[in-house]
Structure 1
Amino acid sequence: MDLLSCDDLAFVADDLAYISDGMAEGVPIEEGDELDSALADVVDALYSVAESEENEILYDAALSLDYAWEEMDRDAFVDALDVAVYEFDSIYIAECSE
């Protein structure tokens, strides 16, 4: 598995912020739209980061995001997103702060 660079992690952080903002604003997620595409990319990236960092909490959050996304369960998605953002931010700060 390829490790993500800090630039890659910054893109994931931006996508997480975009998705979080969309959820906070109540934006609907439709299959194939921009938010849906960002979700797919973020979930894949979170799995990669979780595996490379051996972070079970982030992995479980990515799994929960994936499941909630498939089920279109907004409440479960928001809960998993909160955990994912917290864990990802901790990793990003530890790995990419100068």
Structure 2
Amino acid sequence: MAGMWARLQADLNVRLRRGAWYRINRLDPLQAVLEVGGRLLEIPSAFLQVIERPPRRWTVVPRPDDAVHLPRGCDDRYAVCPSCRERQALAGRPRR
């Protein structure tokens, strides 16, 4: 699984930050094991987007109803840095 990464693709409360990418420790058809904060966490594979290399672009994420600890100024969307995973408020409508 070296080099495989995943992020949550559904609005679920499964202890993953929306828009953040996590290393895959193991990937099966039904379950994936992700490295999250130094621990391993099992997530149903159907809810994940999987890629082979770490992403290089920022991710735009819709704000969840139960969101906490978001940057000041976050309205209905925010961006997540692919390197440090910090969240950033958006101004205007970024290009895709």
Greater helix proportion: 1
TM over 0.5, shorter chain? no
Q: Which has the larger radius of gyration?
A: 2
TM-score by length of 2: 0.25
Greater strand proportion: 2
Which has the bigger relative contact order, CA under 8 A and spacing at least 6? 1
